[in-house]
Amino acid sequence: MQKLGDISTDAYDDEYTIDEELLEEGVKDWLIAGSLALASCARQVTRVNSNTQIDISGRWNDTDSRLAAEELTDEILNGDWLTDFMQANEGKKPVLIVGLVRNKSHEHIESETFIKDIEKVLIKKQSARIVSGGKMREELRAERADQQTNSASSTVKKFGLETGADFMLQGSINSIVDAHKREKITYYQIDLELTNLQTSEKVWIGDKKIKKFVKN
């Protein structure tokens, strides 16, 4: 017989078991709800055509690079300098080298990508010949030097036989930002210059302007 004041361990155990079961159910509900929330916020990735124009942040992107390269290259090849050179050299195509395109904008822009876009369009048009420059040319010369001691004599490429460029293309990318509250206008200007390497005469100058309005 249980005395008054004694603790009923059976009743305590029953109550504890009920509370524990409720806690477990609560944790399960929380985990399920959390999983559903994570699933609904999961990142989705969709592959699109590389030529599709998509602007998310309003910053310089691949579309700007491609369109600027195409438009400026068309202007370069339609310049009087090309006709003058070919007439003076019995129809010979000029040899171009693309030099530095300096990024002076407020953003981090891979100017090398823009340079490659220009070279790709120039080669595709077949109106001029393109030679390598910069680090790529250094790598080619290093390979040629390595061949002198490590390649069969019949396959060694000689020094001093590179095709010299007639003209060098150089330029810069600049930007201006005008922002107020939740609105922003970003203006880009790409300037390019083509210079005769023999005389240092600038034979062509052009630019491409891009203006973006961003509203958050």
Residue 50 maps to a domain: no
Residue 4 maps to a domain: no
Residue 37 maps to a domain: yes
- What is the helix (H) or strand (E) element at residue 205, kind and residue range? strand 202-215
Residue-wise pLDDT for 123-152, tens only, equals 999 999 999 998 999 999 999 999 999 999
Q: Which of 174, 175, 177, 203 is nearest to 191 (CA)?
A: 174
Of the pLDDT bands very low, low, confident and very high (cuts 50, 70, 90), residue 100 is very high
d(CA 62, CA 65): 5
Together in a domain, 37 and 126: no
d(CA 104, CA 177): 13
Name the packing angle between helices 111-125 and 62-77 (round to 10°).
Answer: 40
Together in a domain, 30 and 118: no
pLDDT for residue 122 is more than 80? yes
Together in a domain, 113 and 202: yes
Residue-wise pLDDT for 13-35, tens only, equals 555 555 555 556 665 666 666 66
Together in a domain, 196 and 106: yes
Together in a domain, 78 and 31: no
Together in a domain, 181 and 97: yes
Handedness of CA 16, 17, 18, 19 (dihedral sign): positive
Predicted local distance difference test score (pLDDT) of residue 111: 87
Query: Looking at residues 169-179, what average pLDDT do you find?
Result: 94
Together in a domain, 28 and 87: no
pLDDT for residue 182 is more than 60? yes
Residues in the chain: 216
Q: Which domain holds residue 119?
A: 62-215
d(CA 24, CA 175): 59
Of the pLDDT bands very low, low, confident and very high (cuts 50, 70, 90), residue 40 is low
Residue 153 maps to a domain: yes
Together in a domain, 79 and 28: no
Place of tokens 């509250």: 181
Predicted local distance difference test score (pLDDT) of residue 60: 84
What is the average pLDDT score of the chain? 85
Together in a domain, 158 and 199: yes
Together in a domain, 29 and 109: no
Could you give the percent of the chain with pLDDT greater than 70? 81
d(CA 45, CA 41): 13
Residue 13 maps to a domain: yes
Residue 56 maps to a domain: no
Together in a domain, 169 and 72: yes
Residue 57 maps to a domain: no
* Phi and psi torsions of 143, nearest 5°: -65, -40
Beta bridge partners of 187: 176, 211
* The two structure tokens encoding residue 141: 């010369």
Query: Looking at residues 89-111, what average pLDDT do you find?
Result: 93
Residue 1 maps to a domain: no
Together in a domain, 22 and 111: no
d(CA 200, CA 166): 10
Residue-wise pLDDT for 52-95, tens only, equals 777 777 788 888 899 999 999 999 999 999 999 999 999 999 99
Number of domains in the chain: 2
Whole-number Cα distances in Å, 91 to 53, 85, 86:
39, 8, 4
Task: Read off the CATH number of the domain in which 118 is found.
Answer: 3.40.50.10610
Sheet containing 183-196, strands listed edge to edge, beginning at the edge strand earlier in sequence: 129-131, 95-103, 167-180, 183-196, 202-215
